[in-house]
Every structure is written in structure tokens, then in C-alpha cells.
Structure 1
Amino acid sequence: MDIEDVPITGDMIRLGQLLKYVNVAESGAHAAAIIGSGDVSVDGEVETRRGRQLTRGMVVTVAMPQGEQTFRVT
């Protein structure tokens, strides 16, 4: 599995912001739809909260039509 590292400048990033930052979502509303569909997991557990706080070391996986994409907050 390929994991893309996503560097952040602060202590945390919200899940919806991360999806926009890595170009998985085009907007906050699009991020909310992706997350609400149950296609996003954080550290192996499905996450449905767009505002979920992510800190360094957390791994986010998104089920996409072309396959899963995995990101690690660094």
C-alpha cells in the first residue's frame, strides 16, 4: 500500500481540510459528502465527522472509484 505523507504546519488539521488539501475533495461540501458516505477511515476506523481533528502520525484512507488512497499526516 502506498502512503502519501502530508506535512502540516500547525498541531492539527481537520479531516475536511485534509481532503481538500490533497485534492480528493473540490470543496468543503464535497468533502462532507465523501466523508458522510462512509468511504473515509482514520487509523482503520470509518470516520463520518468532517471536523475530526487529525494530528501527526494519523493515517487517512479514502475509498475512491480508482482504488484506495492513503495519507499520513506528518
Structure 2
Amino acid sequence: MEIKIRNDYITLGQFLKLTDFIQSGGEAKAALQELEITVNGVVENRRGRKLYSGDQVVIEGHAFLIQ
């Protein structure tokens, strides 16, 4: 699934909220410990990780492409 962003980047915490994996920003820390998340094939657990156009994010087997 392609996700379009308006700015140069979006943080992983914001991305989790945008894709409805969490309901609020406060849930991001716990979600990053519980969910299996990779960015461009590398396991990621930093909610502040910046995602740019072209990055591929996989959350619990659901693949997303940042545009």
C-alpha cells in the first residue's frame, strides 16, 4: 500500500498513527516494543525514526511504501 506524505519526512510514531496501528502518539512507545516493524528491511524500534519518500515499512506483515 502506498502512503503519500506532504512534507519531506514523517516520523515512525506519526506513521503508526496515520496507518491506524495506534490511536494516539502516547501509544507509540508500547507499540514499537510489541509490533514487528522493519524499515527498508531493518528492524526498527525508534518512534522518532524519519521516513522519507521511497522508504518501505513493514508492520506485522503489512507492507507500506512512502511516497
Shorter-chain TM-score above 0.5: yes
Preserved CA contact (<8 Å) 1:38 1:47: no
Preserved CA contact (<8 Å) 2:35 2:59: no
Output the TM-score relative to the length of structure 2.
0.90
Higher share of residues assigned strand: 1
Give the superposition deviation at 1:19.
0.8
Opposite residue 63 of structure 2, the aligned amino acid is T
- Structure 1 stretches of at least 4 aligned residues deviating more than 6 Å after TM superposition: none
Between the two proteins, what is the percent identity of the paired residues?
A: 36
Task: State the alpha-carbon separation in 2 of the partners of residues 39 and 29 from structure 1.
Answer: 18
Ranges in structure 2 where 5+ consecutive residues have no aligned partner: none
- 1:19 aligns with 16
Output the TM-score relative to the length of structure 1.
0.82
